[in-house]
Amino acid sequence: MAQGSRSSNQLVVPQANAALDQLKYEVAQELGIAIPQDGYMGNMATRDAGSIGGNITRRLVQIAEQQLSGQAR
């Protein structure tokens, strides 16, 4: 992937892009991982990137479970 380009994954809800970016920075900060200011993460260790992605997924699943349990009441 070229420097500065984005992932080829398409968001189902494009308006969620800002919220997902914010979540990425929050999770990275909680884990003590610095995300480069220019946004290029090609020099980031694979382990760190995986930790961020895994924790984002865990948090998104938790949010979805909470919403589903609220709807089931």
Nearest-10 crossing angle of helices 46-72, 17-31: 120
HEC per residue, the chain: CCCCCCCCCCCCCHHHHHHHHHHHHHHHHHHCCCCCCCCCCCCCCHHHHHHHHHHHHHHHHHHHHHHHHHHHC
Q: Does any domain span residue 55?
A: yes
Task: From first to last of the 73 residues of the chain, give the pLDDT tens digit.
Answer: 445 555 677 888 889 889 998 999 999 999 999 988 887 888 889 999 999 999 999 999 999 999 999 865 5
| Domain hosting residue 56, numbered range | 14-31+46-72
Number of structural domains found in the chain? 1
Count how many Cα atoms sit within 13 Å of the Cα of residue 42 in the half-sphere of its side chain: 9
Q: Does any domain span residue 59?
A: yes
Q: 0.75 exceeded by the pTM?
A: no
Q: Does any domain span residue 68?
A: yes
Q: Does any domain span residue 37?
A: no
Q: Does any domain span residue 53?
A: yes
